[in-house]
Homo-oligomer: A and B are copies of this chain.
C-alpha cells in the first residue's frame, strides 16, 4: 500500500481502552477466521457471534460475503483486489477493536502476509483461527456451488483449486469442522476469547 495521505494530524479519543474495557467487562479485539471456501467460517462466525452476544459481549461479524457488497464493492477477485479487500477489512476490524467490540472476521485470507498485516493492525488483541477442514470436505460441501464453477473454469484464481492457500504458521487455534461439531468448536473458541479478552 502506498501511503498517500498528507497534511494529517492525529486526533485522539478521550476514552481510553481501559475505560471501554471496564465498562464492557471485556476488551475489544479481533478473532480472525482463515480457511478455504466451505471450511465453515461463516457458519462458525455467526454461531460464535450469537453465543458471545448472549454471554454479554459486544461482538460483530465482518464477513467476506457481506463486506463485499459495501466497503469492497468496488473490488474484484484479482490477487491485488483480494489483498486490498483484506487490508480494508483488517483496518475496519482494528477500528471495531478500538471501539471495544470483538470483531469476528471470516475471510479465506489465503496469504500469510495479509494475515500478518491484520495482526499488526490489531496488535495484542488478535486471535488467529485456522479452519483446517480438508479441501475434499470443503469441496464436497460446496455450499455456494463455487468449487463446481471453479473446476469448470468459470471462476479463475479460486483458492485451493488454481490459487494457493498458505497454511498459517502462528494460528492460535486450529479447528477442523469436518471432524468436530459447530457447538464443540464454539465452546473451545469461547474459552479462548474469555481467557484473552475476559468477561
Contact = CB atoms under 8 A, between A and B. Distances in A.
Contacts of A6: 76-77
A11 B46 contact: yes
A5 B92 CA distance: 19
A contact residues, range: 35 or more
A152 interface: no
Number of identical monomers bound together in the oligomeric complex = 2
Give the one of A6, A60, A155 with max B CB within 10 A: A60
A190 interface: no
A61 interface: yes
Interface of A: 1-15, 19-20, 23, 42, 46-47, 49-50, 53, 58, 60-63, 65-66, 68-77, 81, 84, 88, 91-92, 94-96, 98-101, 121, 144, 146, 149, 155
